[in-house]
Structure 1
Amino acid sequence: MEANFGEYIRKLRTQNGLTLTQLGAKLGIDSGALSKIETGKKEFDEACLPKLATAFNLDLESLKSELISEKIAYTLYENKCNESVLTLAEEKVKYIREKNTKQTTLKL
């Protein structure tokens, strides 16, 4: 992955010989918005991930992980959090999964 998700998209687009307009059409967004995404001035909409995966024949889950991890990293950076927050977040994710698994099991 590149330094940020937008740069990754630009690299994919240029390597495949697509213009901003062409890729924007494939993703359902205008070229101006795509340009802002590529330069890091606008966030990529997670709803467009399936189209991006299809456009470049990429694994959707890997793309989703890259995008979400970037969002988490920026949130941690902007809030001046240390790495311990990641451990806490992992514990909370486990708790949420267990809670939802138990609720699903009880409903059956």
Structure 2
Amino acid sequence: MKKAIGEYLRDLRKADGLTLTQMGAKLGMDSGALSKVENGKKLLDAGYLPVIANIFNLDLEILKSEFFAEKIANELIENACNENTLKLAEEKVKYIKINSAKQAKLNI
């Protein structure tokens, strides 16, 4: 997906012939809030991802990857971070996973 998550959601909604009101009802979201998400004026809450995946029969893991990649990219841009930040973040993820696994073993 090369689009913003909101644009992608709008395309999915329209392809299924759903109005903002109908889609909002399926998500449990106000149609005005959904419109803002689709237009990039409001960020989607990650809690909606499983519902969206279910409605459109999408792979939740792929949807989550796209969502969080966009969220991270926006944070980096908003904070004027350089691209090296992504490499450092990957290293931090590995470190945190290893330490979490060690802690889980100690707590057993």
Which residue of structure 1 lines up, in the alignment, with residue 40 of structure 2?
40
Q: How does 1:3-82 map to 2 (within 5 A)?
A: 3-82=3-82
Scaled by the length of structure 1, the TM-score of the pair is 0.96
CA distance in 2, matches of 1:103, 1:79: 32
Deviation per CA, 1:23-50: give whole Å up to 9, x if none: 1111110110000000000000101111
Identity across matched positions, percent: 61
Corresponding position: 1:98 with 2:78: no
Q: How does 1:83-94 map to 2 (within 5 A)?
A: 83-94=83-94
CA distance in 1, matches of 2:42, 2:18: 20
Using a 3 Å threshold, how does the CA distance of structure 1 residues 28 and 41 change in structure 2: closer, same or farther? same
Shift of residue 10 of structure 1? 0.4
Count of paired positions: 108
Using a 3 Å threshold, how does the CA distance of structure 1 residues 4 and 25 change in structure 2: closer, same or farther? same
Q: Over the residues paired in the alignment, what is the CA RMSD in angstroms?
A: 0.8
Moved over 3 A (4+): none
Shift of residue 19 of structure 1? 0.4
